[in-house]
Amino acid sequence: MTPPTLPTPPSARSLWRSTAAALALALAVLFTIVLPAEYGVDPTGIGRVLGLTQMGEIKVRLAREAAADAAADAAAFDAATTPDSTR
């Protein structure tokens, strides 16, 4: 009985090609989907066509409003807990 043969590993050129293809795909997804949907930034214009830019702009606006509300709440809390020096 002969031992089973192991598959040959991919060549360095094949690995580099696969890595470059994966990087290109990741960058394409970043610029066409992630940036428009998450941050409202649309460098390619595809996000506007897909409706992702509007979603990202709403998300950014809501985040700014939440930060402003949190700052106002913190200021109100500080004013309520700080002893009044005019008494």
**Total-model pTM:** 0.67
Mean pLDDT, residues 17-42 taken together: 95
- In this predicted structure, the answer to whether residue 86 has a pLDDT above a threshold of 70 is no
Say which residue, 20 or 4, is predicted with more confidence: 20
pLDDT band at 85 (very low <50, low <70, confident <90, very high): low
Per-residue pLDDT at 79: 84
Query: What's the CA gap between 83 and 48, in Å, rounded?
Result: 52
Per-residue model confidence as pLDDT tens digits over 55-65? 999 999 999 99
pLDDT at 4: 87
CB 42 within 8 A of CB 35: yes
31 vs 46: CA distance, rounded Å? 9
